[in-house]
């Protein structure tokens, strides 16, 4: 590994956030963890018991002075997070004490850990596979209950168990294909193609289920991306401010005020949502405004939902939409489009219903059928209708995904499983055509390698760097 130094070193790091706090915890892991910590903690008994906490006065063996009253926890080799001998020192949460203790530990023979090195050692010792290692970081970074639940399921092996099952099925098929080759001269077929097709069909179906889950898994992990799109002065910035409860975006009567994206990250019904205010869509000769519009259009394919903001009062006066506003919505983006008719505080009940129905029928004629469930009437000024928008976003998350242990949320998993899906489809086609087993074996081996790469049974330095470089110190 180029990313980490020698695994033989004993490493140390602050495991709690830096800064003042009630307590701080320093973790020490490696073959010499016990003697190094013992040199600062003479109160420790000769024989330590794993998972036991010891109280005493931490002292500097180099400067002959007391450092702090501490608690020292011991975790024996094979029973710790890293799989190595591990000691944890809990001290009063002073940044000065943290630096002082770490300096003493380094003088005693340890070195500072790299970010993610403790988790990397857990992976290398077999305590975690790569999917579980990634879930550690996701659990640390989780911003909602759903995100934490998803990460915990992955840490407990939900995805890993499924992948190991797929790996076993692939190995079984490969073994039977090899046997068919070995016994070909005797005109004996160990496994019929129909049986092999059935096994591979089951693997493909499971892989496709996991790939379908990625969209929701990513939304849980990273937050739902919602773009506020529409013509200038329809109330996009006002809606952003209303959702956030503060004047985050500038609101004026001058069209084209918003030039660049402005984001609001908010917890909505237990789920993180990132609302993105965008430049108003219109024809313009202003080069800066034009750049903002181009950024808006490039953003649309990557968001999870588009709130198309409309001026309800203006629609009462003049029905119709400019092509530069309507065309991006008719380009069939992957994200669902929601029509949000703003400024309804200026309309009567009859006018609201009339405008909403006209919008629905007009879009239906253009090939964009939103139905009644994706057309909302709101007022960014009074806050009317905002709860209905939040309820819609909650419904988009689904209710059953969190119960599924097969939900994936990592781009790396999605890439590798997509590769596996394509290989499985080719293999099934080859089986159906009676292609020679040697060619099918070659294709299926690549599928097997993709599954094993997800688990971390096959990896290289580049993959490890990609996985562990985002970890914090002490984890």
Q: How far is CA 469 from CA 1, 4, 134, 466, 475, in A?
A: 13, 10, 11, 6, 11
DSSP-derived 3-state class of residue 26: strand
The one-character DSSP state at 231 is S
For 214-260, write each residue's pLDDT tens digit: 988 888 888 889 989 888 888 888 899 888 876 555 454 545 455 56
- How far is it, in rounded angstroms, from Cα 438 to Cα 151? 40
Burial of 170 (0-12, 13-18, 19+ CB in 10 A): buried
Homologous superfamily, domain 138-213+406-456:
tRNA modification GTPase MnmE domain 2 (1.20.120.430)
For residue 88, how many other CB atoms are within 10 A of its CB?
A: 21
- How far is it, in rounded angstroms, from Cα 127 to Cα 120? 10
Residue closest to 217 by CA, chosen among 315, 118, 131:
131
Which CATH architecture does the domain made up of 11-128 adopt?
2-Layer Sandwich (3.30)
Q: Is there a contact between 390 and 399 (Cβ–Cβ < 8 Å)?
A: no
Q: Is there a contact between 414 and 211 (Cβ–Cβ < 8 Å)?
A: yes
- How far is it, in rounded angstroms, from Cα 366 to Cα 23? 62
For 404-424, write each residue's pLDDT tens digit: 668 899 999 999 999 999 999
Q: What is the pTM for the complete model shown?
A: 0.79
* CATH number, span 218-401: 3.40.50.300
The one-character DSSP state at 169 is H
Bridge-based pairing of strands 305-311 and 224-229 is parallel
Bridge-based pairing of strands 337-342 and 262-268 is unpaired
Give the H/E segment covering residue 386.
Answer: helix 386-396
pLDDT tens, the chain, 475 aa long:
445 656 689 999 999 988 899 999 999 999 999 999 999 999 999 999 999 999 999 999 988 899 999 999 999 999 999 999 999 999 999 999 999 999 999 999 999 998 889 999 999 899 999 999 999 988 988 888 888 888 999 999 899 999 999 999 999 999 988 887 765 555 545 568 888 999 999 999 999 999 999 988 888 888 889 989 888 888 888 899 888 876 555 454 545 455 567 888 888 887 889 999 888 776 766 777 667 777 877 788 888 888 989 888 888 887 776 666 677 777 656 678 889 999 998 988 889 898 888 888 888 888 788 877 889 999 998 999 999 988 888 887 664 444 566 889 999 999 999 999 999 999 999 998 888 889 999 999 999 999 999 999 987 777 777 777 777 666 7
For the chain, the domains span 11-128, 138-213+406-456, 218-401
């Amino acid at each position: 590994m180029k990313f980490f130094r020698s695994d033989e070193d004993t490493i140390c790091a602050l495991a709690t956030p830096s800064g003042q706090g009630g307590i701080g915890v320093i973790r020490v892991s490696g073959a010499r963890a016990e003697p190094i910590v013992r040199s600062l903690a003479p109160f420790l008994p000769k024989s330590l018991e794993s998972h036991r906490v010891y109280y005493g006065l931490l002292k500097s063996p180099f400067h002959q002075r007391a450092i702090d009253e501490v608690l020292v926890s011991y975790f024996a080799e094979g029973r710790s997070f890293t799989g190595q001998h591990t000691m944890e020192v809990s001290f009063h949460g002073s940044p000065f004490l943290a630096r002082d203790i770490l300096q003493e530990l380094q003088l005693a023979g340890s070195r500072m850990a790299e970010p993610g090195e403790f988790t990397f050692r857990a992976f290398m010792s077999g305590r975690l596979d790569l999917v579980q290692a990634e879930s550690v970081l996701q659990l640390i970074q989780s911003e909602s209950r759903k995100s934490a639940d998803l990460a915990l399921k992955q840490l407990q092996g939900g995805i890993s168990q499924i992948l190991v099952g797929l790996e076993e099925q692939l190995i079984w098929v490969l073994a039977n294909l090899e046997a068919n080759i070995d016994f070909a001269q005797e005109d004996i077929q160990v496994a019929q193609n129909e049986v092999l097709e059935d096994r591979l069909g089951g693997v493909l179906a499971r892989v496709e289920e996991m790939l379908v889950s990625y969209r929701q898994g990513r939304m849980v992990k990273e937050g739902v991306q919602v773009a506020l799109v529409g013509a200038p002065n329809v109330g996009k910035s006002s809606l952003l401010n209303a959702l956030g409860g503060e004047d985050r975006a500038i609101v004026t009567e001058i069209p084209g005020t918003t030039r660049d994206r402005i984001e609001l990250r908010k917890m909505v019904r237990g789920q993180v949502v990132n609302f993105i205010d965008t430049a108003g869509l219109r024809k313009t000769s202003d080069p800066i405004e034009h750049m903002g519009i181009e950024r808006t259009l490039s953003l649309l394919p990557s968001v999870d939902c588009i709130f198309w903001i409309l001026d309800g009062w203006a629609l009462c006066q003049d029905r119709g939409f400019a092509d530069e506003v309507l065309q991006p919505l008719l380009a069939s983006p992957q994200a669902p489009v929601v029509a949000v008719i703003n400024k309804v505080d200026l309309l009567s009940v009859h006018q609201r219903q009339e405008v909403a129905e006209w919008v629905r029928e007009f879009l239906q004629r253009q090939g964009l059928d939103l139905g009644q469930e994706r057309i909302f009437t709101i007022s960014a000024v009074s806050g009317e209708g905002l709860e209905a928008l939040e309820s819609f976003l909650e419904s988009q998350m689904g209710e059953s995904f969190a119960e599924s242990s097969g939900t994936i949320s990592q781009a790396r998993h999605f890439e590798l499983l997509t590769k596996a899906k394509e290989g499985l489809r080719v293999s099934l086609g080859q089986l159906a055509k009676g292609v020679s087993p040697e060619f099918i074996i070659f294709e299926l081996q690549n599928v097997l390698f993709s599954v094993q790469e997800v688990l971390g049974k096959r990896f290289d330095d580049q993959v490890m760097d990609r996985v562990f470089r985002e970890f914090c110190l002490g984890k």
